[in-house]
Structure 1
Amino acid sequence: MSENRIAALEARIGLLEDERAVARAMASYGPLVDGGDADGVAALWAPDGVYDIDEIFLAGRERIHEMVASPAHQGWIRQGCAHVVGPPHITVDGDEAVAVCHSLMVVHEEGRYVVRRATANHWRLRRTPPGWQVVTRTNRILDGRAESPALLVAGVRGEAAQAD
């Protein structure tokens, strides 16, 4: 095999490994947050990372940790909830990545499960020594507002969210 072909294969394998690592980081969110692992959830973010949810803006790991450890979130866990992150569309560009997916928050109410929220999720991640970490995650509820589907389209195109 020529050196060029080997280099091309290594580059392709490296990209696949990066995409897999980003997807694994994203897929970790639901199990960690539903398990109440505030340290684990916070560690998904860069130290100065941002989690921008419709009604909440969390800047820094400490705020993300506080959200998971909060009585409100712990109440959701005790009641029964599932944060389901859909399959991501990931664009890796060197040490930066943009990913987009849908997510659902499913809660247990009166013996049945109800979708409480369906959201558009736009993630920006960066490769760091410990691995890929979230720089910004922007969630917008899918309730007909224009910014929610715009987040999805921007992510598929590998573009930053308008809020970034």
Structure 2
Amino acid sequence: MTDIEERLAGLEARLNRLEDEKAVERLISSYGPLVDSGSADAVAGLWEPGGVYDVEELLMESRDAIAAMVRSQAHQEWISGGCAHVTAPPHVTVAGDEAVAVGYSLMLLRTQNGFEVRRATANRWQCRKGPNGWRIVRRTARILDGRPQAPALFADGVTA
């Protein structure tokens, strides 16, 4: 391989990695607007068919379970009362067709006094690239309440 071919191959590999990182970021950042709009099927479609969403108070082990969470009375009441699921830019590590991303999320609820934080959460997203692009394999979310599980998600994800 010539020097120019080596440089082009290197640039192509770097561009592919950046495109994959951006695609994972877009996947994760789409969760909030979709869940806050009540788009249950679209939210569920962010996950692989057998994907898992493990949030502090609820374990969902299928797209159907994730869609049911969005359609639930509690979630619909949050939407009608005013809520925002806000995701901070994640730290994404791509290795081939697998990726790990970690970051913060906040759930804000509208109250008589404005908006209040209902939950501040540490998140670890495991994603996989397939024929239909990047999808979530597993999202693990733990409340940042002083217990060691939440910070452990960060440390594990940044070093993945």
Q: Of the candidates 46, 53, 56, which is equivalent to residue 55 of structure 2?
A: 53
Distance 1:27 1:128 in 2: 19
What is the aligned partner in structure 1 of residue 103 from structure 2? 101
What is the aligned partner in structure 1 of residue 6 from structure 2? 4
SS at match of 2:30: helix
TM (norm. structure 1) is 0.95
Distance 1:56 1:97 in 2: 23
Displacement after TM superposition at 1:111 (Å): 4.0
What is the aligned partner in structure 2 of residue 41 from structure 1? 43
Letter in 2 for 1:143: D
SS at match of 1:144: coil
Q: Per-residue displacement from partner, 1:5-38 (whole Å, max 9, x unpaired)?
A: 0000000000000000000000000000000000
What is the aligned partner in structure 2 of residue 146 from structure 1? 148
Q: Per-residue displacement from partner, 1:49-105 (whole Å, max 9, x unpaired)?
A: 000001100001000000001111010000000000001000000000000010000
Correspondence list, 1:1-164, <5 A: 2-158=4-160
Letter in 2 for 1:49: G
Aligned-pair identity (%): 57
Displacement after TM superposition at 1:146 (Å): 0.4
Residue segments in structure 1 that go unaligned for 5+ positions in a row: 159-164
SS at match of 1:17: helix
Distance 2:40 2:29 in 1: 16
Distance 2:59 2:144 in 1: 18
Letter in 2 for 1:144: G
Letter in 2 for 1:4: E
SS at match of 1:76: helix
What is the aligned partner in structure 2 of residue 161 from structure 1? none
Distance 2:131 2:73 in 1: 33
Report the aligned-residue RMSD.
0.7
Residue segments in structure 2 that go unaligned for 5+ positions in a row: none
SS at match of 1:2: helix
Distance 1:70 1:129 in 2: 31
Q: How many residues align?
A: 158
